[in-house]
Structure 1
Amino acid sequence: MTVDGTHHAALASGLVDELVGEALVWSSLHGLVVGDRIIQRSGTVPGVGMVHAPIALLPMPFPEDYWRQACELAPIFNELVDRVSLDGKFLQDSLSRTKKVDAFTGRLLDIHSEMLQINKKEDIRLGLHRSDYMLDAETNLLLQIELNTISSSFSGLSCLVSELHRNLLDRYGNHLGLDSRKVPGNKALSQSAEALAKAWKEYCNSSAVVLFVVQPEERNIGGQAVAVVYFRAGYSPRDYPSESEWSARFLIEKSNAVKCPSISYHLVGTKKIQQELAKPNVLERFLENEDDIAKLRKCFAGLWSLDNAEGVNRAIERPELFVLKPQREGGGNNIYGEDVRKTLVKLQQEGSEELAAYILMQRIFPASSLAYLVRDGIYHHDQVISELGIYGTYLRNKDEVVMNEQSGYLMRTKVSSSNEGGVAAGFAVLDSVYLT
């Protein structure tokens, strides 16, 4: 058994059964579980309807050089988000065409515009981000898929998967030819909690609380001051079924509470801003360090607005080489393959304004490998590809940067034939990194 990307090759069935059994028991004992959607009270009553999270049985080999590159990018992206968030004109101008055809982004921009008009300053700025990457097999480049600035999920479960894999390798490493020390430690959850706690402390009101905005139908209304608001929800039009939700978002934004994210941080995470930042000479508007700028540019995939006729025509000719992305978070929104051509042709027929609701991105093709995937207590062996997410934690008060660091990671693995990569949506499983 080797560690060059082949340690998921077929194992003896008895050993696999034993590993799966151990993994399921460990998951139950250590909280590596999620609510079962089939059971009505699951997730609302402790212990009812909980099942193990979908997982890879063994950690995914990943070259250490690319791992270090991804980790080094986290504080640079943190700083970039903060700098861009302060440039209200850039955000408004970049998203002005999108606003005309995307009502959801338009409402976010309206709130942002009102904050600019009243000159609302965020003296304490908190960001819990996650930048997602794939290793492109053709170019051997680590390329960024997207930067998440709102509801960067799975920090808790990703830490547990790393622990699970280290535990399995401690026990079975000799049989597998694997060393548990090559699975990096994951502090995403503790660092996120520390950041929230530090932001609460910066607010300087010991009786104030930390408020989590969650899905769905959670209503936390009390008479206490709120120091920090963390948005686990609010990134999708589904989270705003009526005007009351928009009024609440506006009220929170207008308040003195620390927002994670603020409306400006939220907008920095849109696909359109990602595409704008990849244009020549735009990063120089926000960053001075040439080495940092070069590191960011190296990880940028090809990104085009749909007013780029050359890019659109190429995508119509070779749709398999591109991904069409709307301004949406949460998985399941992107367009692939022949649907790229159909959508672009349809958008062109509808008029140029409709094109502004999307960006076009180079499709990344990572190398596939064999892995054991475990879902609902059943395992199967399949060709898979993986996506690495690096968490970044940023906190700044009006005088100085309090925190700016890489805080952990998320590895998601999916069957190579699947376009989408969401765990909650049922496409991928949680995984960890095995450094090679």
Structure 2
Amino acid sequence: MSQKNPHLPSCIPVPISEDVLKELVEKAKDWAIMHGAAMRSKACFSEDSLNFAPFVLLPSTFPSKEFRRAVEVQIILNELVHRVAHNREFLTTTLKETIQVDEFTGNLFKIYETVQDEGVTQRVALGLLRSDYMIHSEYANHIKQVEINTIASSFGGIATSLPRFHRYVLQELGCFEHIQNLPENNALAGLCQGMLEAWKIYGDPKAVILFIVEDVTYNICDQRLHEFKIRELNPHVKVIRRTLTQVGDNGSLNSNNELIIDGLVVSVIYFRAGYEPGHYPSKKEWDARLLMERSQAIKSPSIQYHLAGTKKVQQALAKSGILELFLTEAKKIESVRDIFTGLYGLDFDEFGDQAVQMALNEPDRFVLKPQREGGGNNFYGSEVREVMLQMKDSRERTAWILMERILPPLSTGYIVRPAGSNPPPLCEMVSELGIFGVIIGDSEKILVNKQVGHMLRTKVSTANEGGVAAGLGALDSPYLID
């Protein structure tokens, strides 16, 4: 066994016999579709059909101590992001180089400066966050943070059904005693209650919640599950879905700076799009983002929360002495510092030059990350060296960060994909845990701060990226072991 890649045990012995496996996979596919663990096909898109979302047949083992650590640190991370988002000096200083070479982050920052200079209309912000981790086998199997997502933190909806799915699978296999190792997951209800709390704070019983969505939505079930859950939790609250283009065409502010869309007052805006340049094909979409930011609507995320989630800010927070600017208790600071892996800026200074040299000397040790969400943007291994050689003397490098590569333990299992083979092959996999948090507050006080649930994404061990929506990862749930 490689020292760098130890194996976690499977939740039950594998392989499963072929006849049992084939029948189980057929049932599992139907269970997934019939319970909303599904997506629209990118290959054969139709609004009238669904494929099941890729899933891992058996739940993947995860150390229970590290799962609890991730859960417990979430409310501290919520507070940290909230305080960072409300510190103009820190955001401005941290992003000053990046916004000059990264047009997308620069455009976000222009909106931020505009509303700050005009005076923020809606002081209350809603954070629906997800902090992602991998187990690092070189650090005694401790969790290390991959990133924190402050915009479009997806899969809270579908992930909620995954423990039920895996309970069903284990029951089918007669493994009833294993079910107690699957933790409850209430991410969907928790995230939706956060939106409803913000709706209540807004104070207009006739106002609607607006979901900002892509022109074409593949991950429809995850989004609709949120919409339907809101209606279930409060039947009087209406959700509308609009693209940034539609807001640009039909949105306006009234004399009280309330956002009006097609005659409806918007109380809360939940961004499921707006995190990548492709969502802004023209000036109209950027104007729509500014219009919403100027409005009374409570936003998830507000523009400052969006900026607080950039990779550059994440890297800056890992510097010595920075956490102390935002957190006062030593125990909180230590618990956050404990989950950070090595993060390095690429500014044109002594430290940036050292980071460039480290990447050139040992590219396999690092991941090169831009200021982007949505998966598929990072560079690994030999690519790190190639890209660094191209930009080491260019200002462009300041838009990127260098992160120490996390070396997770392997697990063995079956990944089931639409149009995949049945029986699926047994493969080696690695997993990434996401913990959801909800925070509501303004610069003076925090009104709500909760950890609300989790998700697990798993991919074959040879794949670098692991996004489910991007087509590389598979939905999973943790099977907790001591």
TM-score clears 0.5: yes
Partner of 2:302: 262
Partner of 2:18: 13
Q: From 374, 393, 413, give the equivalent of 2:416.
A: 374
Q: What's the CA shift string for 1:393-417, capped at 9, x where partnerless?
A: 1122687533211111110010000
Amino acid in structure 2 at the alignment position of 1:39 = C
Amino acid in structure 2 at the alignment position of 1:155 = G
Partner of 2:162: 161
Partner of 1:323: 367
Confirm whether residue 402 of structure 1 aligns to residue 447 of structure 2: yes
Confirm whether residue 189 of structure 1 aligns to residue 194 of structure 2: no
For residue 33 of structure 1, report the CA deviation from its aligned partner. 1.3
Q: SS of the counterpart of 1:117?
A: helix
Q: From 326, 347, 352, give the equivalent of 2:391.
A: 347
Alpha-carbon distance in structure 2 between the residues aligned to 1:399 and 1:103: 32
Mapping of residues 152-301 of structure 1, within 5 Å:
152-174=153-175, 179-216=178-215, 218=243, 219=246, 221-301=261-341
Confirm whether residue 386 of structure 1 aligns to residue 431 of structure 2: yes
Amino acid in structure 1 at the alignment position of 2:209 = V
Alpha-carbon distance in structure 2 between the residues aligned to 1:166 and 1:407: 20
Alpha-carbon distance in structure 1 between the residues aligned to 2:360 and 2:115: 40
**Aligned residues of 1:4 and 1:61 also touching (Cα < 8 A):** yes
Alpha-carbon distance in structure 1 between the residues aligned to 2:446 and 2:371: 30
Partner of 1:411: 456
Alpha-carbon distance in structure 1 between the residues aligned to 2:274 and 2:464: 25
Alpha-carbon distance in structure 2 between the residues aligned to 1:214 and 1:16: 38
**Aligned residues of 2:9 and 2:411 also touching (Cα < 8 A):** no
Alpha-carbon distance in structure 2 between the residues aligned to 1:73 and 1:8: 33
Alpha-carbon distance in structure 1 between the residues aligned to 2:21 and 2:380: 34
Length-normalised TM-score, structure 1: 0.94
Partner of 1:433: 478
**Aligned residues of 2:121 and 2:296 also touching (Cα < 8 A):** no
Counterparts in 2 of 1:167 and 1:88: CA distance versus 1, 3 Å = same
For residue 170 of structure 1, report the CA deviation from its aligned partner. 2.9
**Aligned residues of 1:128 and 1:149 also touching (Cα < 8 A):** yes
For residue 294 of structure 1, report the CA deviation from its aligned partner. 0.2
Alpha-carbon distance in structure 1 between the residues aligned to 2:179 and 2:448: 29
Gaps of 5+ in 2: 1-7, 217-242, 248-260
Q: Report which stretch shifted further, 98-107 or 300-309.
A: 300-309
Alpha-carbon distance in structure 2 between the residues aligned to 1:5 and 1:280: 39
Alpha-carbon distance in structure 1 between the residues aligned to 2:100 and 2:300: 26
Partner of 2:104: 104
**Aligned residues of 1:410 and 1:432 also touching (Cα < 8 A):** yes
Q: SS of the counterpart of 1:414?
A: strand
Mapping of residues 15-164 of structure 1, within 5 Å:
15-40=20-45, 42=46, 44=47, 48-120=48-120, 122-140=122-140, 141-164=142-165
Q: What's the CA shift string for 1:223-254, capped at 9, x where partnerless?
A: 11110001000000000000000000000000
Amino acid in structure 1 at the alignment position of 2:441 = R
Q: Tell me how many residue pairs correspond in the alignment.
A: 426
Alpha-carbon distance in structure 2 between the residues aligned to 1:185 and 1:365: 27
For residue 115 of structure 1, report the CA deviation from its aligned partner. 1.4
Q: SS of the counterpart of 2:374?
A: coil
Q: SS of the counterpart of 1:225?
A: strand
Alpha-carbon distance in structure 1 between the residues aligned to 2:414 and 2:480: 18
Gaps of 5+ in 1: none
Counterparts in 2 of 1:124 and 1:227: CA distance versus 1, 3 Å = same
For residue 181 of structure 1, report the CA deviation from its aligned partner. 1.6
For residue 298 of structure 1, report the CA deviation from its aligned partner. 0.3
Amino acid in structure 1 at the alignment position of 2:200 = K
Amino acid in structure 1 at the alignment position of 2:15 = A
Q: SS of the counterpart of 2:385?
A: helix
Partner of 2:220: none
**Aligned residues of 1:173 and 1:179 also touching (Cα < 8 A):** no
Partner of 1:337: 381
Alpha-carbon distance in structure 1 between the residues aligned to 2:69 and 2:106: 35
Q: SS of the counterpart of 1:356?
A: helix
Give the percent of matched residue pairs that are identical in Structure 1 and Structure 2. Answer: 42
Q: Report which stretch shifted further, 264-273 or 160-169.
A: 160-169
**Aligned residues of 1:74 and 1:390 also touching (Cα < 8 A):** yes
Amino acid in structure 1 at the alignment position of 2:80 = L
Q: SS of the counterpart of 1:418?
A: coil
Partner of 2:254: none
For residue 272 of structure 1, report the CA deviation from its aligned partner. 0.1
Amino acid in structure 2 at the alignment position of 1:331 = G
**Aligned residues of 2:83 and 2:443 also touching (Cα < 8 A):** no
Length-normalised TM-score, structure 2: 0.85
CA RMSD in angstroms, aligned pairs only: 1.7
Q: What's the CA shift string for 1:100-121, capped at 9, x where partnerless?
A: 1100000000011111111215
Alpha-carbon distance in structure 1 between the residues aligned to 2:12 and 2:345: 41
